[in-house]
Amino acid sequence: MKFETPAGINPIDQQKVIGQPASRLEGPLKTTGTAPYAYEYHQAAPNPAYGYVVGAAIAKGQIRRIDRRKAQAAPGVLAIVTAADVGQLPPGKFYADRLLAGPAVDHYHQAVAVVVAETFEQARAAAALLKVTYTQTKGAFDLTAAKDTAIVPKQGEFGGAPQTKVGDFEGAFAAAPVQLDATYTTPDQTHAMMEPHATMAHWQGDKLTCWCSVQQLNWGARDLGTILGIPQENIRLISAYIGGGFGGKGTALSDLVMASLAARAAGRPVKVALTRPQIFNNTTHRPATIQRIRLGATPDGILTAIGHESWSGNLPGGRTEAATASTKLLYAGANRFTELRLAVLNLAEGNAMRAPGEATGMMALEIAMDELAEKLHMDPIALRIKNDTQVDPEKPERPFSTRKLVECLQTGADRFGWSKRVATPGSVRDGQWLIGVGVAAAIRGAPITTSAARVRLNRDGIVTVETDMTDIGTGSYTIIGQTAAEMLGVGLDRVVVKLGDSAFPQSPGSGGQWGAASSTSGVYAACLKLREAVAKALGLNPAETQFANGQVLAGKRSYALGDAAKAAELVAEDTMTYGTLAKQYAQDTFGAHFVEVGVHRYTHEIRVRRMLAVCHAGRILNPKTARSQVIGAMTMGVGAALLEELVVDKQVGFFVNHDLAGYEVPVHADIPHQEVILLEDLDPTMSPMKAKGIGELGLVGVAAAVANAVYNATGVRVRHYPITLDKLLGKVNLT
C-alpha cells in the first residue's frame, strides 16, 4: 500500500480500541520475570558455552602480540578468537567502529578477543590470563583541545545538512539592537540501560541465529552480514524483548559479532554479555558538544538573526551530533545560519542516544532564548510565542503539517501557574530553599518510513500479527495489537502479537521516534488486505463490509469473523510505503516543558519539585503508554541537566566512571510529581493512522527547563552541563 495523499476517514477513526489507555500486553510477562531477554533463551539452543570479551587496555596504537598459552590451557576453555584468527573485520553500515581490534586499536576497550569456556566463570578467569602486548601511540581525547581541527563534514544520511544559510545572518546579527552571543557545553553521556548488551549465537551449517538485544533487526542483520562476510539471508535475529536501549542497541555491536565468531569457533551455541565498563567504553555514547548560539532581535522581541554552531568529536568515519537540528525549525527569523563541525577523537564511538542532536541542541538553544528574554525584559513564554511560525523557516513554501507549539505553551502555563512566576531571580523562598521555575519549548522530527506486517486469522476468530518491529519497553506490542483489533472489529484479547524476529516482515524497528507511527501503519496495510480476504471468503463486497464486535456485517448479512477462516487460515501481508507528503509538509512534534526547582540556600543542593510536559504528537495511539514514554523521558532530562557526565581521562583516553556506581542517573528520590498533558490532534499527512511518535519529544527541552528554573531560583546562569552545586558555590546571593 502506498500512502500518497492525506488520509480521509477510515476504520482507525472509530477509536474503539485505538486511543484507549490499554495496559501493556507483555506487562504480566515482564513483572513475573517470564519474558525472555537475549541472555535467557535457555531452551532455544541447549548446552551453550560462554564467551567473555577482552577489551583493549590502550586507546590508540597497535597490538604487537597476544600470548594465549596460559588462557588456552585454563580449565574449561573451548576457543579463543582474535583478529589473527578471523582477519580484519570491516565496520557495518550504521556504525563507524570496527568491532574487533587488530592489529590497530582505535579506542579503549575495543574488543581484542573473546574467550569461550564451559562456564562464565571459567571464561572470565581464562580471559584474565590472556597477555596482550601493545605499542601505544598518542591519541586525541579532549574536544576542547581538538576544536580548532574540526571540519564541516560531508552531507550524511542522518542529521540533515551540516551547514545551512538563509538570508544574511552576519549582517543582521551585527545590526540587531539586542544581541546574545553565548557558548554552552554538554558532556559525553551514556544510555545506561538496565539490560546489558547480550547475545546468544548458534550456527547450523552456514545459517546463523542470534538471540540478541538489537533495536533495528533489519539493520542488525544487514550489518552483521557485512562484518562477517555472509549473506544477510543466512542470518536470523530474535529480539522479542529488550530491556531498554535509548538508541544504544541500534544495530550490530561487539556482543553480537563476538558471540557469532565464538559460536563458530567453538562449534556450539555461545552466550556473550558485555560487562558494564565494556558497555560504557566499548559501545556507543552521546558525544560531548561545544555550542555557540547567537541571537539578534528587535526591542519588541522579533528575532532577526539566528545562528547556531556546534562542535563534537568522533572516531574517523563517525557522524556529528546534529545539535542544530531543532534550531532550523523551531522559531521564525529571516536571517539564519547553522553549522556542525566534527573533530577526530579516539574515544568510543559517538552515536544515537534518545533524540540525537535535538536533545543536546535544545539544552543550549532554550537557555539562550531565556537569556534573550531577560535582555528584552520579556516573559520567556511571550518571546517564544511571538516568534512562532507555521512554515519551515528555511523553506517558507513548506508549511508544517500540524503545529500547536503556542497551544502547548499556553496550556502548560495555565496548568503550571506560570502567571505567579516572579521574574527577578532569587525572589522566592521556602524556608532555606530558593525556589525557581523554568520553561522550554520542544520540537522533535516525526519521521515515518516503510514498514511491513503479516496478519493471520484462524477459525476461532483469533488475529495474529507478525512483524520484526521491536519493543524496548515502549509499548509496541500493545499499540500494534490495538491497531489490528480496531481494523478487524475485535477486542484486544482476540489479538496475538509476535514481534522481534527478523524472519517476520520488515519494519523500521525502534528508534528515531518513527517506530510507533511506522509499524502501526504497516499493520494497518496488512489488516486492510485481510479485511478484503475475509469479505471475499464470505462472498461479500469489501466496499460494503463492516467489522465490529467480532462480526462481519454487510447489509442484513452477519457472520462471525472466524467463519471466514473455517476452510483454511487466512493470511495477508503488505508493506506501507510513502509518496512525497514529507517533502511537501514539515512533519514534526511539539511540546512545552515546565519545571520548578528548589536550591538549598547554603549547600546549593538542587531538588526538582514538580514537572509538567505538554505534548502535541498527532493521534495518541494509547494515552497510557504515551504518558509512560513521556515521564521516562522527563526523568532522563533531569539526569542530563543535573547528574549525567562521562568523565574522560585525557591522558589514558577512556571514560573513568564506567559503571552505574560512578555514572549517576536519577533515582526515585530525585523525581517529584510529574504531569503530562497530551494534546489530541490528527495529522492526516502522516499515514492512515494520523499519528506521530512521542518517545523522544518528552526529552527534548527538559534539561533547559531545569537550567532556566535554577537560574530563576539563584540568579546564577550555568551554561555548562551538568548543573552541579560546585558551579553555584560562591555565586549565589545569600542576603
Q: pLDDT tens digits, residue range 685-720? A: 999 999 999 999 999 999 999 999 999 999 999 999
Type of residue numbered 589:
T
Supply the DSSP symbol for 483: H
- pLDDT value, residue 156: 67
| Domain-embedded: residue 455 | yes
CB 690 within 8 A of CB 402: no
CB 713 within 8 A of CB 723: no
Strands of 419-539 (E only): list them: 428-430, 433-445, 451-457, 463-466, 495-498
- pLDDT value, residue 155: 74
Considering the domain architecture, whether residues 532 and 564 belong to the same structural domain is answered as yes
CB 235 within 8 A of CB 502: yes
Number of helices (H) and strands (E), helices first, in the chain?
A: 17, 32
| Domain-embedded: residue 505 | yes
Considering the domain architecture, whether residues 535 and 417 belong to the same structural domain is answered as no
| b/e burial code for range 600-614 (CB count within 10 A of at least 16 → b) | bbeebebebbebbbb
Domain final residue, candidates 535, 553, 579: 579
| Domain-embedded: residue 177 | no
Considering the domain architecture, whether residues 677 and 621 belong to the same structural domain is answered as yes
Please state the φ and ψ torsions of residue 393, each to the nearest 5 degrees: -65, -25
Helix (H, G, I), strand (E, B) or coil at 335: strand
Closest by CA to 17, choosing from 462, 537, 483, 453, is: 483
Closest by CA to 343, choosing from 325, 376, 322, 319, is: 319
| Domain-embedded: residue 409 | yes
Supply the DSSP symbol for 418: G
Considering the domain architecture, whether residues 411 and 459 belong to the same structural domain is answered as no
How far from chain centre, in Å, is Cα 722?
20
Contacts of 252 (CB under 8 A, 6+ apart): 92, 94, 95, 99, 214, 219, 220, 223, 224, 227
Which residues are tagged catalytic?
Answer: 696
Type of residue numbered 266:
A
Torsion (CA) 501, 506, 509, 513 in degrees, nearest 10: -160
How far from chain centre, in Å, is Cα 273?
22
As given in the structure block, the three cell numbers for residue 562 are 472466524
Cα 683 to Cα 692: distance, rounded to the nearest angstrom: 8
- pLDDT value, residue 159: 63
As given in the structure block, the three cell numbers for residue 289 are 558538544
Sheet with strand 303-314: strands edge to edge: 163-166, 335-344, 303-314, 289-297, 178-186
Contacts of 193 (CB under 8 A, 6+ apart): 243, 244, 245, 246, 248, 249
Considering the domain architecture, whether residues 735 and 632 belong to the same structural domain is answered as yes
How deeply is 168 buried, as exposed, middle or buried, from its count of CB atoms within 10 A (0-12, 13-18, 19+)?
Answer: middle
| b/e burial code for range 648-665 (CB count within 10 A of at least 16 → b) | beeeebbbebbeeeebbb
Cα 289 to Cα 311: distance, rounded to the nearest angstrom: 5
As given in the structure block, the three cell numbers for residue 113 are 578477543
Cα 442 to Cα 447: distance, rounded to the nearest angstrom: 16
Cα 634 to Cα 654: distance, rounded to the nearest angstrom: 29
Considering the domain architecture, whether residues 729 and 655 belong to the same structural domain is answered as yes
As given in the structure block, the three cell numbers for residue 87 are 582477519
Q: How many CB atoms lie within 10 A of CB 47?
A: 7
Domain final residue, candidates 522, 550, 579: 579
| Domain-embedded: residue 557 | yes
Considering the domain architecture, whether residues 493 and 602 belong to the same structural domain is answered as no
| Domain at 598, CATH number | 3.30.365.10
Considering the domain architecture, whether residues 560 and 614 belong to the same structural domain is answered as no
Q: How many CB atoms lie within 10 A of CB 724?
A: 16
Supply the DSSP symbol for 563: G
Task: State how beta strands 131-136 and 61-67 pair.
Answer: antiparallel
Closest by CA to 153, choosing from 317, 350, 290, 353, is: 317
Cα 217 to Cα 289: distance, rounded to the nearest angstrom: 30
Task: Specify the pTM.
Answer: 0.97
Considering the domain architecture, whether residues 437 and 455 belong to the same structural domain is answered as no
Closest by CA to 698, choosing from 606, 589, 595, is: 589
Closest by CA to 599, choosing from 480, 723, 448, is: 723
CB 49 within 8 A of CB 43: no
Domain final residue, candidates 532, 561, 579: 579
CB 589 within 8 A of CB 513: yes
Cα 351 to Cα 572: distance, rounded to the nearest angstrom: 37
Contacts of 167 (CB under 8 A, 6+ apart): 334, 335, 336
| Domain-embedded: residue 725 | yes
**Helix residue ranges, H only, 333-449:** 358-376, 380-386, 405-416
Type of residue numbered 312:
S
How far from chain centre, in Å, is Cα 729?
34
| Domain-embedded: residue 469 | yes
Number of domains into which the chain is organized: 2
Type of residue numbered 101:
A
Considering the domain architecture, whether residues 472 and 429 belong to the same structural domain is answered as no
**Orientation angle between helical segments 702-714 and 358-376, nearest 10 degrees:** 30
Sheet with strand 131-136: strands edge to edge: 104-105, 61-67, 131-136
Bridge partners of residue 311, in order along the sequence = 290, 341
Ramachandran sector of residue 216 (left: φ over 0; alpha: ψ -120 to 50; beta: rest): beta
Cα 287 to Cα 107: distance, rounded to the nearest angstrom: 14
Domain that holds residue 564: 2-35+448-579
- pLDDT value, residue 599: 98
**End-to-end Cα, the chain, rounded Å:** 68
Considering the domain architecture, whether residues 607 and 726 belong to the same structural domain is answered as yes
**Which residue ranges in the chain fall short of pLDDT 50?**
none
Contacts of 689 (CB under 8 A, 6+ apart): 12, 18, 483, 517, 520, 521, 524, 619, 621
Q: Give the H or E element holding residue 297.
A: strand 289-297
Considering the domain architecture, whether residues 429 and 489 belong to the same structural domain is answered as no
Cα 596 to Cα 107: distance, rounded to the nearest angstrom: 41
| Domain-embedded: residue 592 | yes
